[in-house]
Structure 1
């Protein structure tokens, strides 16, 4: 099924949506942790960053991520100087690979005529580095992070408003594409259309606002956004 009307602007989340963060597991192992601790560490980063936003505070992604690593190292490697280990892990962020579907998917999304932006709770510079390495950065009009929203992490409405201001479009003309249901829910509540990229098995949470469309990969989403011949606007 194609989407009608198609969105003018696609706002793509970055961490886990575009980037394959599993590569960080090797860095955790390097510093005496376990690759299996990666999901809990990253979930903790998101939890603490979002909690700070809700409380009216602010810290950059790298600061929150470093705190989480120091806490893990203090439990697993007490007495170890955490500084070098933290720097070793975080240095891998700009070097992360993208998921296999991303190169063809981003090019296909660009070919639909939609304008592309990224929006991350992380760093726009890191996004640019990752997508430069993948040969995709120039297909996007802008790479945004939440510093442009006063440091308020997604899913705060201000983060999505920052993307809309940058694109110069109303919320209904934009679609957020994300792997995280909480991000989809936040964008929907901010008035954007939404696409849930279903990279992992499991149902979409029933308590959250449903996505307008689900896709297995970016290439699948691009197919849904591509006009069908013989159907004006279809």
Structure 2
């Protein structure tokens, strides 16, 4: 039986869904789009830097600090109530349209499906519950217990231990190239979801499978 490890942010959950709340607060859709993308970039950068420094703070802290940076860079000043509203909205981000249909379909076969995330388990649980995805998953594996982040080799080993999965029978499903490369180094199979015509990092590593939508996975993985 194969095990499917679904990344959450950027794979099942659309991080750019925060643009709606941002636009409502700052009143400028174009600027909201730019801030949203910068927020996501800095969120990931902060997680990478903290992992390298071995100076851990939870992903929610990286998220809050990244928002502070993105707003300062854009010279947008928000009051505490507005900041709280944005951070609350980040915990209720929408699922991608293809996520629920795919997870529902997987329930009719033998594959096990887990969420695998940098986010804290409670945050991920709330997020996936709000997005109406959690009922289709066999569980959530958070890297928070390790006090580091993807793509540390330790997180992929932790997933295998937590789910009693063999590396060569585990597929990472992710829209994030850094995650795909990390999983390949751990001996996993990988499926990259190429969201928004993104480019894959030119590191001499390639995913086993590339799809434009999660709906392509059953055929590509022969599920």
Residue 173 of structure 1 corresponds to: 169
1:60-79 counterparts in 2 under 5 A?
Answer: 60-77=58-75
Match of 2:86 among 84, 89, 97: 89
1:129-168 counterparts in 2 under 5 A?
Answer: 129-148=126-145, 150-168=146-164
Q: State the Cα distance separating 1:144 from its structure 2 match.
A: 1.9
2:7 equivalent to 1:9:
no
Q: State the Cα distance separating 1:122 from its structure 2 match.
A: 1.8
* Farther-moved stretch of structure 1 (152-161 vs 218-227): 218-227
| Equivalent residues of 1:120, 1:146 under 8 A apart | yes
| Equivalent residues of 2:38, 2:70 under 8 A apart | no
Partners of 1:154 and 1:208 in 2: CA distance: 19
Partners of 2:103 and 2:84 in 1: CA distance: 30
Residue 45 of structure 2 corresponds to: 47
**Structure number with bigger Rg:** 1
| Equivalent residues of 1:182, 1:208 under 8 A apart | no
Query: How many residue pairs get matched?
Result: 219
Partners of 2:89 and 2:220 in 1: CA distance: 34
Partners of 1:216 and 1:81 in 2: CA distance: 36
Alignment RMSD: 2.0
Partners of 1:84 and 1:77 in 2: CA distance: 18
Runs (5+) with no aligned partner, structure 1: 1-6, 228-234
Partners of 1:195 and 1:75 in 2: CA distance: 34
Partners of 2:130 and 2:72 in 1: CA distance: 34
Normalised by the length of structure 1, the TM-score is: 0.85
Match of 1:24 among 2, 18, 23: 18
Runs (5+) with no aligned partner, structure 2: none
SS in 1 for 2:107: helix
More helix by proportion, 1 or 2? 2
